Amino acid sequence: MAAVTHDHDHHVEGLHHQFEDMEQQSETYLVGMWSFLVSEVMFFGAMFLAYSLYRWKYQADFHAVHENLSVMWGGINTTVLLISSFTMVMGVHFAQLRKGKLVQMMLGATIACAFGFLFIKFTFEWPAKAVEHLVPGPTFGTIKEALHGANPRPAELFFSLYFAMTGFHALHIIVGILMLAYLANMWRKEHPLVTKDYVPTELIGLYWHFVDLVWIFLFPLFYLIPR
């Protein structure tokens, strides 16, 4: 857009040149974000399909090996993400009220929760699987107790899906942190794009809630398989 510096005499701060007014800009942003989220649903959807297929095929093995996952850490992480969603909502709320300082605080709290989530996952959860030889590969399942009586191949499939799905989710959290940090910085600099209109803040909020929602499905599917 650098090349397009022309346009209306009545230039509105925070309004991009291709739009007529702020309302059109906000609505267009929202349509764009929702379309992107639909595509994200399909992205995770394919993995959920694979998960459903294999869980249906290997019910007993999936139940047995899932006991290896720590419901405590999973539960704590779920709570952390739910709190982060709350702080994100408050961030959007304060953005509507144009209270820049409070928005920055709330975005900061959301980022802190996100780091907490990643910290728990990458220090308490994933490394423990490596110690128990539950990372898919040639040594998978060589510690028999860690399998909780499951057959090794279905158990390996379970952990393949576990690492793939929670891994892609963690990637989305990392991208979310970057987006939140960028947004918080725009608020700090009082960029007109965010201060004149709350919708850009809401867009990041929508993305963040989506990431949260994916975890709300991942947690019961991996940690809470019923007998």
Q: Which residues bind another protein (CB under 8 A)?
A: 1-4, 6-9, 16-20, 24, 27-29, 31-32, 35-36, 38-40, 42-47, 49-50, 53-54, 136-138, 153-154, 156-157, 160-161, 163-164, 168
Q: Which is nearer to another protein, 80 or 150 (CB)?
A: 150
Q: Which is nearer to another protein, 94 or 207 (CB)?
A: 207
- Residues counted in the chain: 227
Cα gap 172→97, rounded to integer Å:
28
Which residue's entry shows tokens 């399942």? Answer: 141
Kindly state the smallest distance separating residue 176's Cβ from another protein, in Å. Answer: 17
Under 8 Å between Cβ of 201 and 183: yes
Q: Which is nearer to another protein, 94 or 140 (CB)?
A: 140
Q: Which amino acid is at 16?
A: H
Under 8 Å between Cβ of 124 and 73: yes
Radius of gyration of the chain (CA): 22
DSSP state of 11: P
CA 9, distance to chain mean position in Å, is 42
Kindly state the smallest distance separating residue 42's Cβ from another protein, in Å. Answer: 4
Kindly state the smallest distance separating residue 3's Cβ from another protein, in Å. Answer: 5
Kindly state the smallest distance separating residue 214's Cβ from another protein, in Å. Answer: 13
Q: Which is nearer to another protein, 7 or 13 (CB)?
A: 7
Cα gap 119→152, rounded to integer Å:
29
Kindly state the smallest distance separating residue 49's Cβ from another protein, in Å. Answer: 7
Kindly state the smallest distance separating residue 10's Cβ from another protein, in Å. Answer: 11
Q: Which amino acid is at 151?
A: N
Cα gap 93→90, rounded to integer Å:
5
**Residues 6+ positions from 199 with CB-CB distance below 8 Å:** 25, 26, 29, 30
Q: Which is nearer to another protein, 28 or 70 (CB)?
A: 28
Q: Which amino acid is at 3?
A: A
Q: Which is nearer to another protein, 123 or 139 (CB)?
A: 139
Q: Which two tokens stand for residue 209?
A: 């809630």
